[in-house]
Structure 1
C-alpha cells in the first residue's frame, strides 16, 4: 500500500477489523492512501474487495470541512469507475468541492465491475452491479471515516444522475442501514416487487430507436422542425414532411420526447452510447426480431424497403488511419466543427493515455447512414472485435462496444486491416419500438382495444449493470429531480418512481418520504457540454442544472436531519407530456418562473432601426429565496453582458426594456433570471436559474 508522508496524514488506516456484510465480497484492502491538493484538498484512499472486481475511492477533506455527513455519488451510464468524480464527471456534477461545501466526505464505487465488463467472479447478477457493491463500499467508508475523523458520519446520502439516477434509489431501497436519504436525478426504469433479483425488462432504451429514426428520415428537414418549435415559431413541426416522416415524428412525441428539445434530435449525445453498449445483447437475445424485420410481413424492412434501402451499408472497408485521443484534441486536422461531438469523449479517453485509439478513418465504404453502424474488425491483431459507430465526421468513425470492446476500442488495429461495416441491425432498431410494446399508457397509440398493431417480441432485457427494477419500498427520504428537456431520459421517466412509492408505501408514505421536483429548461448534461446551433447558443435555452442539484442536496439534508420537507413542483402529465403551471404560486418548487414578450408577443417582426419593447415578469416561489441577477442576451449568442442593477433580492421582478436592432437578421433575445435561497448576491454556489426567450426578426 502506498501511504503519503504528508503531515496532513497522521494515522494509518486499517481494514482488518472490518466485517464484510455481503458474502459476495472478500476482505477489503487499501492500496493507496495519500494527501492531494486537487481538485480540493483531501485524503485520497483507494482500495477494493478481494476475490472480485469491486473497487472504491474515499475522499476525506480536512476535518474543518466535516459536519459528520457522507455523500455517495453514483456514476452515470453503466458505471465501472471508482474515480469518475475526480475528473470530468466531477467538473460536470459538482465533485469534491461541492461535497466539502455540504459538510461531508465522498465515497465512490465502480459498482462492482471494471469498465463495461462483467465481473467473472460475480457473473450476470444485476443486484451486485445495481446496489450491493455500492452499499458495501459505502458501509466500509464509514468504518474508515471513523478512523479519519474520530467518528463515523451521523448522516449518509446517496445521489446520482442518469444511470446513477437509475441505481441510487436501489441503494436506499436495499441499503437502509447505510443511507438516510437519496437524491436521484434523471433516472427511470421499471417497477417490480421488493427483493427481485431479475434483470430489468424495460422500454427505456427501446424508444431511442424512434428518435434515431426521426433523425435519419428527416435529414436536413429536422432544422425546420426545430425552428417551428422554437419561441416565435409556427408551432407546427409537421409542415413540409412526407407521410412517413410525419408518422415517425408523431410517434416520437407520443412516446414522450420533450417538445422544445428538437435540436437534440439532430445532435444526439449519450443515447447512441447506449445502443453501442447493448447492440450485441439485443441481437443475441432478440435474434428473431432482427431477422423478421427484413424477411416477414408486418415489418418495414420487408413491407417498405424504400424506407431503409437508401441508407443501407453492408460492405468491407480498409483502415486508412487510426486516430488517437490526443490527435483529436490537438491536431488541426480535427479542429473542424464536425468533430465537436466526439471531443468530450476524447477528453475522458485521454485519461487512459494520449495515444489511446478511439477512432478509425476508413476507405472503400458504401454510402449510407453511419450513426449506429456496426464495425467488426476482420483481420489483424484485433480480428473479431465488434464495435458500433457513436459519432462520425467524413470517413472518420468514433466507435464503442460491449465488454472488452468498450475498454480496448481500436487498440491493436493497424492501417490496412479490414473491417465489416454493416448497419442492418441499427436500421431494424430504428423501428424496434413498434414491436416491443409495454403496458405503459405512453404506448397506447400502438394498440387498438389493447391489441398491438404490429407483430410483437419480448421486451428486451437491460444490461445487468443497470441493476434491478424499482420497488419504491425504502426507509428514509428520497427527492427525485427530473428535467423537462431531457432528450436521454424523457419526462415520462420522471413520474415512474412516484408511482412505485405510492404502490409500495401508500399515500401516507408518498407524502412523508417522497418529493418530486422539475427543472425547467434543463437537458441531460449541462449546456456547456452541448453543441450550439449557428443562430442560437445552447446557453440561451438550457440552464446549468447543477445549482439545482446542490440546493436539492441541502434541502435533503434538512429534511432528514431537521424534518423539514422540501417544496415539490406541481405539474400535470398527459399524452406523454409534462406541463408546469405558468405562475410561481401554482408551480411552487424552487426555480424562478418567467414570462417574456416582445412588442406584446412571442415574436416581433420589425424594420431595421425600429425600437422593440420587451416586458419580463419573473417570480420566485415562496420560500425559495430572492432574485439576485437578471441578465440579457440581445443576440442569442450566449453572451449575457447586460445585467439589471438590483439592490435587493425580491421574490418578484417586472422589467421593461427598449432595444433598437439595426442589422437585418433573426435574434433570440433571452433573459436569464437567477435566484438564491438566502438572497446572497455574492454566492458562488446554489445559484438557481431559469431562461425565457422571444424571437425578433429584423427585415
Structure 2
C-alpha cells in the first residue's frame, strides 16, 4: 500500500511560501545558531548539534509516503536547497522504534536505501533493531550526512511524538569507512557511535590498486601455482619455482599488505579478464587518469631517470622494458560513418602489446609534428585499425588524415604499477611502506613531487585527517582476505585511536575467510551479520554503557595479519572451526573409500551459540544443512562421512553460523574451514 502525504511544516523552522527551508534544534533560534566552522585554521569543518552548516542550511521535504514493503514504514524524502544533495528518512511504526537511528554512508550510494552498496536488507535490519534509517547521496565527506542526520532527528521527534534524546550511529565500508572515520573525528552531538568497515588508510588509493597491477604484469602466468601453494593442503611456499623478477614482486605485494591467502582468488586479485589477461585501466588502474593529471611528468622520468624500474638494471627492470610499446605508425585511411563522422583510422603497422596493457594514441599532423593531441580509442589488430571512442575533440579529429602519424605506446600503463615505490609517506606509522626505505629511514627510490593518496583520501573523508580522535563509540570491522582494503589498515587506524587516548572507546573485529565484497565464492563467508551485531553492540555501548566483546587478538608481521587458532585466544565475535586431521589440511584417499570428516567449533566467550552447520564435500558451493548437538557455551564437535566416486582433487568445507540471539533474523556470524581431499 502506498499513501502519499503533502509537504508538512516542521517546527521550529524557517518557512517561506509554505515550504520548509530550514529546521533548527528546538533550543536554537535562526538568529542565534552559530555557523559550523573549522576547529583549527585550515582544518575540516567541525559540526556540532547546535551549529548550522552554511552549505546545507535549508533542508526541504519533497514527499512523504507510507509504504508496506519491504517493511511497514514512512519514507520522507527531500533535498538541501541550492545543492544536488538529497536525503531519505525511513521511519518504522512507533511501537517498533526504540529511540535510535542508523545512517549508512558510501560515496557512490544515492539516498534510496534499496540501492545501498551492501546489497543487504538495511531497512529491515534497522527496524528490527529499533532504529529508523537515514541515507543521502552525499558523495565525499560527512557534512551533508551530518546535516541530514540532524534534520532527521527533528522529523522523527515530531513523527513519534518524542521529546527526549535520539541516539544515532553512522556506518560505512570501503570509501564509506573514510566517511565514517571523518564523521566520528569531526562531529559531536550528531552521532553517538560508528561502525567503519573494510577500512582503508590515507595511502591506500591509488597505491593498492597499482601494486596489484604490478602483480598482474609479472605474476599472471604463475598465479595458479601461487594459489595452489596458499590453498588448504598446499605447500605453503608461494615463492617456490618463481624467478627473481617474480619473487621480487610477490615479496613487494606481500609486504605492502596483499593477503597471501587472497591469491586463491587470483583472477580477482590481479584483475584478470576471462581470457586470463590483465583487465587494464578499467579494472585495477581506475585511478591512472587521475595520477596522470596530478603528476604529468612521471612517465617521462620513469623511462629516463635513475631509480625507476624503467631504467633499473635488474631482472624486473629488464622484464618491464621487454613489454614496452612505443612506435609511430602511419594513417592509411580515415574511416567515416554514413553521416561523414570520423569513426576510426586504418594504420600501416600494428604493434604487438606483450603486456596486454592499455595503449595511448598521440596524433601528429601530416605536415609534421607541429603539435600533438591525445586520441581516445582502442586498437583493433584484426583490422589494422584504431576504433575511436566518443568524445574526441573536433581539433583532434581534424588532425586525422592520410599520411599523418600516430604514436602508439604503453609507457604510462607500464610505469604506473610501481608508483607505490615513489610514494613513501611522510607521515610516520604507515609501516607497510617501510620496505621502500633505507636503513636510515630515507626513501630508497626517487619520490614524486606530491603524495597522491592523502589528497584523494581527504576528498573522500571531507578533509578528515585520520587522527584517531573519535567522538563516541566505534567498532571497526575488517576482513583477513581483503585484497582491496588490506587488513593492516585496520591495525594502523587502531594505533591512531590508541595514540589519541581513545582506546577505551574502540573495538576492532577481524573476520577470517571474508574479503571486501562478500560471499561471492564458496571459499568465502559474508560479513554483514558481523556488521549488524557491531551496530547493535555500539548502540548498547553508547546508550547503556554495556561494553561489547573484546577486540580480535592478532599479530602483524611484514604487512600480514594473523590470528590465533583458538577462539578463546582470538576473541572477537566470529566462531572458529578446526579440522581434526592434523596440521596440513590435506586428506588422501582412494575412490569409493569413505572419509570421516571431523571438526571442532569454538565460540569466543560471551558471543552466543552455534545455530547452523552446513557441509559441502566437493567444493561446488552447494552447502547442505546438517544437524548437530547445540551447546550454548564451550566446544561443539561435528562430523560427517562421505565417499568420492571418482579421482580428483576436491576442497571439502564446513560452514558454521553463530548468533547472540538465535531467534533473530539478523546478526548471523559465519565462518568456515576447508580441507583438500586428493582422491586417487
Q: Is this a same-fold pair by TM over 0.5?
A: yes
- Pair 1:493 & 2:489 matched: yes
Which residue does the alignment assign to 2:206? 205
**1:521 paired to 2:513:** yes
SS at match of 2:311: helix
Which residue number corresponds to residue 670 of structure 1?
Answer: 653
Aligned residue among 390, 410, 422 for 1:435: 422
Aligned-partner Cα distance in 1 for 2:640–2:380: 43
Relative distance call for 1:374 and 1:166 in structure 2 (3 A) is farther
2:134 to 88, 107, 114: 107
* Residues 477-486 or 211-220, more deviating: 211-220
Does structure 2 conserve the Cα–Cα contact (< 8 Å) formed by 1:276 and 1:372?
A: no
Distance 1:500 1:88, change over 3 A: closer
> Against the structure 1 CA distance between its residues 524 and 362, is the aligned structure 2 distance closer, same or farther, given a 3 Å change threshold?
farther
Kindly state the Cα deviation for residue 553 of structure 1 after the two structures are TM-superposed.
0.8
Name the CA shift for 1:298/1:83 in 2 (closer, same or farther; >3 Å): same
Q: Which residue is 1:622 aligned to?
A: 605
Residue 149 of structure 1 is matched in structure 2 by: 160
Distance across 1 between alignment mates of 2:490 and 2:334: 43
Q: In the alignment, is the contact (CA less than 8 A) between 2:475 and 2:508 conserved in 1?
A: yes
Residue 453 (structure 1) aligned to one of 437, 444, 448:
444
Contact 2:479 2:511 survives alignment (8 Å): yes
Q: CA separation in 1, counterparts of 2:108 and 2:376?
A: 19
**1:604-643 correspondence to structure 2 within 5 Å:** 604-643=587-626
**Corresponding position: 1:21 with 2:2:** no
1:538-553 matches, within 5 Å, as 538-539=521-522, 541-553=523-535
Change (3 A) 1:607 1:308: same
Residue in structure 2 matched with residue 402 of structure 1 by the alignment: none
Are 2:96 and 1:65 aligned?
A: yes
| C-alpha deviation, 1:425, in angstroms | 2.0
Q: Which runs of 5+ in 1 are unaligned?
A: 114-128, 191-201, 322-359, 379-383, 396-408, 529-537
Structure 2's unaligned 5+ residue stretches are: 11-19, 25-50, 272-279, 337-342, 364-372, 383-388, 401-405
Give the direction of change, closer, same or farther, for the CA distance of 1:22–1:309 in structure 2 (3 Å limit): same
Alignment map for 1:244-283 (pairs within 5 Å): 244-268=245-269, 278-283=287-292
Secondary structure at the residue paired with 2:246?
helix
The answer as to 2:459 corresponding to 1:465 is yes
Q: Does 1:132 align with 2:143?
A: yes
The answer to whether residue 53 in structure 2 is matched with residue 48 in structure 1 is no
The answer as to whether partners of 2:375 and 2:392 remain within 8 angstroms in 1 is no
The alpha-carbon deviation at position 621 of structure 1 amounts to 1.1
Secondary structure of the equivalent of 1:616? strand
Q: How far apart are the structure 2 equivalents of 1:665 and 1:145?
A: 60
Residue 227 of structure 2 corresponds to residue 226 of structure 1: yes
Partners of 1:109 and 1:9 in 2: how far apart? 21
Q: Is the 8 A contact 1:44 1:60 kept in 2?
A: yes
* 8 Å contact from structure 1 (residues 668, 695) kept in 2: yes
Alignment check: 8 A CA contact 2:302 2:415 kept: yes
* Superposed displacement of residue 80, structure 1: 4.5
CA distance in 2, matches of 1:491, 1:171: 22
**The one of 178, 183, 187 aligned to 1:175:** 187
**CA drift at 1:162:** 0.5
Which of 186, 190, 196 in structure 2 is aligned with 1:184?
A: 196
Q: 1:484 to 1:607 in 2, by over 3 A?
A: same
1:697 match: secondary structure = strand
| 2:122 alignment counterpart | 95
Instruction: Compute the RMSD of aligned alpha carbons.
Output: 3.8
**What are the Cα deviations for residues 170-213 of structure 1, in whole angstroms up to 9, with x where unaligned?**
112222111111010111224xxxxxxxxxxx255313312211
Change in 2 beyond 3 A, CA 1:484/1:594: same
Kindly indicate which of the two structures has a greater share of residues assigned to helix: 1
- Cα deviations across residues 481-513 of structure 1 (Å, max 9, x unaligned)? 1111111111110112211112222xxx312x1
Change (3 A) 1:448 1:412: closer
Q: 2:471 aligns with which of 466, 475, 499?
A: 475
With normalisation by structure 1, the TM-score equals 0.76
Contact 1:627–1:651 (8 Å) recurs in 2: no
Change (3 A) 1:647 1:516: closer
SS at match of 2:60: strand
Q: Mark the CA change 1:561 to 1:260 in structure 2 (over 3 Å): closer, same or farther.
A: same
String of CA shifts for 1:30-73, please: whole Å, max 9, x gaps: 33333344444433333222233332222223333322211110
- Following the alignment from structure 1 to structure 2, what is the Cα–Cα distance between the partners of residues 187 and 663? 44
The alignment partner of 1:448 has SS state of coil
Q: Contact 2:376–2:392 (CA<8 Å) still a contact in 1? A: no
Distance in 2 between residues matched to 1:313 and 1:560, nearest whole Å: 58
**Aligned 8 A contact 1:572 1:580 in 2:** yes
- Provide the rounded CA distance (Å) in 1 between the counterparts of 2:380 and 2:193: 44
1:408-428: per-residue Cα shift (whole Å, max 9, x none)? x96899xxx999986432321
Residues 639-648 or 179-188, more deviating: 639-648
- TM-score (norm: length of structure 2): 0.78
Residues 293-312 of structure 1 mapped to structure 2, 5 A cutoff: 293-303=302-312, 306-312=318-324
Decide whether the 8 Å contact of 1:66 with 1:103 is kept in 2: yes
Q: How many residue pairs end up in the alignment?
A: 592
2:575 matches 1:583:
no
Q: After superposition, what is the alpha-carbon deviation per residue over 1:232-272, rounded to whole angstroms, capped at 9, x for unaligned? A: 00111112222101100011111111121113442149997
**Once the 2 structures are TM-superposed, how far is the Cα of residue 214 of structure 1 from its aligned partner?**
1.0
Secondary structure in structure 2 of the residue aligned to 1:261: helix
